[in-house]
């Protein structure tokens, strides 16, 4: 599973780890930092992996579980979003 989403795991585990709030004020700031630090070609692969995850995973509970497996400790509900909404917005931001 982690090989299938290797680039997404770099984003989630690297920027939304257990102490992510000590590194970034907001989830948006963490995504912006990722964009600043990673090569464009790798970001593009992460976008494809997010799209694949959203396609493969139908329920919110499954998305939450997958995000946790990939090292994500951000909780979108804290910002009034579902995992699907949040990952979709991350995908859109990384695509621009």
Domain positions in the chain are: 6-95
Q: What is the pLDDT of residues 3-33, one digit of tens each?
A: 889 999 999 999 999 999 999 999 999 999 9
DSSP 61-91: HHHHHHHHHTT----GGGGT--HHHHHHHHH
Report how far residue 8's alpha carbon sits from residue 53's, in angstroms, rounded to the nearest whole number.
Answer: 9
Q: What is the pLDDT, as a whole number, of residue 2? A: 54
CA distance to 11, 14, 48, 66, per residue, from 59 (Å): 22, 24, 19, 11
Neighbours of 63 (CB within 10 A): 20
Classify 24 as helix, strand or coil. Answer: coil
Q: What is the pLDDT, as a whole number, of residue 3? A: 81
Q: What is the pLDDT of residues 42-62, one digit of tens each?
A: 999 999 999 999 999 999 999
What pTM was estimated for this model as a whole? Answer: 0.93
């Amino acid at each position: 599973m982690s090989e299938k989403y290797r680039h997404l795991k770099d984003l989630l585990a690297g920027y939304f780890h257990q102490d992510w709030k000590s590194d970034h004020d907001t989830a948006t700031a963490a995504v912006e930092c990722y964009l600043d630090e990673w090569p464009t070609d790798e970001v593009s692969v992460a976008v494809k992996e997010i799209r694949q995850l959203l396609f493969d995973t139908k329920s919110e509970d499954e998305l939450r579980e997958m995000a946790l497996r990939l090292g994500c400790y951000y909780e979108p509900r804290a910002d009034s979003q579902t995992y699907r909404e949040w990952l979709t917005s991350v995908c859109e931001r990384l695509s621009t």
